[in-house]
A and B are shown apart, each in its own frame.
Chain A
Amino acid sequence: MTSVPSKLYSDDVSLVVVLLDTNPFFWTASSSLPFSQFLSHVMAFVNSILLLNQLNQVVVIASGYNTCDYIYDSSSDASQLGLENGKMPSLYSNLLQKLEDFMIKDEKLGKEQSQRAIKSSLLSGSMSMALCYIQRVFRSGPFHPQPRILCLQGSPDGPEQYVAVMNAIFSAQRSMVPIDSCYVGAHNSAFLQQASYITGGVYVKPQHLDGLFQYLTTVFATDLHSRSFIQLPRPAGVDFRASCFCHKTTIDMGYICSVCLSIFCNHHKKCSTCGSVFGQAQSDTSSASDLKRKAPET
């Protein structure tokens, strides 16, 4: 995979879009790091970003189980208003209030849903929203902060989101927006490893979760300008092999349908995704209606 060409940044003003995983299925099961502690690490981290430069901006988007939404934007007027009884500064009260509202909404939306095997969060949705916001920043004029995305994720990857996540990753690569990932779940996330590798970001799975804040400030608070001369964790070999559609095993060599690009490990007579019969010219309507947005696992 060719590496991302690096833009030359002249100063350290950054815009960090934080994608916060609030998936209740993950957090209730997470024993090593309770959600409240996680939040306190994240808030201190957000504060440190805003501290480093007056013009820095932080936007927080929550990815829930049933929906995604914007939680906090440091540049909006509401966040700069005065104190509430002088006790807690507005950063905290606004953010926490909106987060609470979001989680209630998320739960309400989930009442009718069916059970799924893998309880993943809607990473593709929040990534897409983050990229739209970043495009808006690019349009805002010649002086804008350098944007990057930070995914704080714990939930496992949802294979049904594969195509959407890859689309988001390629779009980020084209706009030269690095995607950093800090994964606090059990096993490595292939989506986030690929995302960070392709876009030129950093992927870290912290070993000691009670020191999360230290990982965040040491690695993820580094602005893009400084990354050229600071040691950062390097990607340790991302596995880009594909898995076949029939058995979901990783394969070295396989067969690709030339019409719909599905991957098979053995020679078949007919493609199971698009229905094309191999070796013959196709007719349109019957084959195309079988096209579904299936996702190969990697």
Chain B
Amino acid sequence: MANNIAEKRRQQEEDDDEEDGDLDGWGERNYADERSWEALQEDESGLLRPLDNKAMYHAQYRRRLRSLSTASNSQRIQKGLIRFLYIVLDLSRAASVMDFRPSRMAVVAKNVEAFIREFFDQNPLSQIALVIIKDGVAYSLTDLGGSPESHVKALMAKLECSGDSSLQNALELVHEYLDQIPSYGNREVLILYSALTTCDPGDIMETIQKCKKSKMRCSVIGLSAEMFICKHLCQETGGLYSVALDESHFKELIMEHAPPPPAIAEFAIANLIKMGFPQRAAEGSISICSCHKECKVGEGYICPRCKARVCELPTECRICGLTLVSSPHLARSYHHLFPITPFDEVTPSRQIEPHRRSQKTCFGCQQGLVNPGNKPSLHVACPKCKQYFCLDCDIYIHESLHNCPGCESLRAS
């Protein structure tokens, strides 16, 4: 645990640059919080050198990637692609504590907004809903929906905290809603818990068993300290429990929930879902759209079943209930089903292979792989096409592109 903390602090330096300037009164913190003196190391001759952040960042990244992929590749667990996720925000008294600047509530809200956008980017067919715990009572802020804007708007409008927090009330409420969704969907709950206590009207253990029976996967991210009840909840339902150390760590933890989780075999029931692929409305056609109830010209889509007009995709047709998508939406999820294999590190012994000696530049970006002095720098190779890549391309390929340029440049027979 202590090692993790030290590593996390060092990684914070890279993440620091991502903080926006909207933490107004805390502008100085952005400036002075670099702690570059901590990132010094003594080398052989006793001189101080800054830590090689790049190699360490890369090593951490690869460890994370490996742990994600060995789980899925070796056992070939499928991923739940159609997710119905409830985000539960704890807005009790504890959320106004200022150990996360400017306050826990503000940090949570900012990261939830970023998370919602990332979530819909990676899971276009899924839906999110928001639930708030305040004054010991849980109530739903938004219904299940696929449009990020409405959730974000509702969230930002209602940011006040007071009273106690109640875990059981939240779980009961979410359970009630999630019971109604169709069986092919993945039921998930993400609880962002700031408090250290919970005020429950009944036996929370029963509620936890109920959730487990309904196949709800509950995960918790704590902002204060580890709690037994949260740990128990996550263990029973198969979710992830983690506690955030600081703002950037919190952001990292919440973003881990954006890609689809491995679907547990007994939970996933394969189903054929009926979906519509609407065509674009003709230029200049005038109709009343079913989402805003306004008269619009041109640009829009026509539901193939009931011919109602909708403004954007993906959405559910309000008149006949058909899910409307376009093929790129489906395509966005394909990379989860066909992940690329992680690259292997190139050890010095491999580098003297004769047919590889000629490759001095990264195959993807043409950056030189040789440090001054003819020493080869750290680089990786794809196990399938054997091409060399630099560290930055490795990260980009696995996190964003999901294509290996080397494999794509080979005509598969």
Q: Which residues of A contact B (CB under 8 A)?
A: 1-2, 65-70, 73, 109-110, 112-114, 122, 124-126, 128-129, 131-133, 135-136, 139, 160-164, 166-171, 174-175, 194, 198, 237-242, 251-261, 263-264, 267-268, 271, 274, 276-285, 287-289, 291, 293, 296, 298
Contacts and interface: CB of A to CB of B under 8 A. Distances in A.
B277 A279 contact: no
A279 B270 contact: yes
Given A163-B334, A171-B400, A281-B265, A135 B365 contact: yes
B365 A167 contact: no
Given A70-B366, A133-B364, A257 B408 contact: no
Interface residues of B, number: 64
A229 B405 CA distance: 35
A124 B270 contact: no
Contacts of B327: 240-242, 296, 298
A251 B405 CA distance: 32
A67 B268 contact: no
A256 B366 CA distance: 41
Return the 6 tightest CB-CB contacts between A and B, nearest first. Answer: A132-B364, A125-B409, A288-B76, A276-B270, A240-B326, A252-B304
Contacts of B367: 136
B328 interface: yes
Contact of A194 (B305, B328, B402, B405): B328
A282 B403 CA distance: 28
A133 B322 contact: no
B265 A283 contact: yes
B403 A168 contact: yes
Interface stretch (B136-144, B168-176, B188-196, B391-399): B391-399
B376 to A, nearest CB: 18
A268 B274 CA distance: 12
Contacts of B228: none
B366 A260 contact: no
Contacts of B402: 167, 171
B277 A124 contact: no
B363 interface: yes
Interface stretch (B26-34, B77-85, B219-227, B229-237): B77-85
**Highest count of chain B CB atoms <10 Å: which of A129, A271, A277, A278:** A129
B37 interface: no
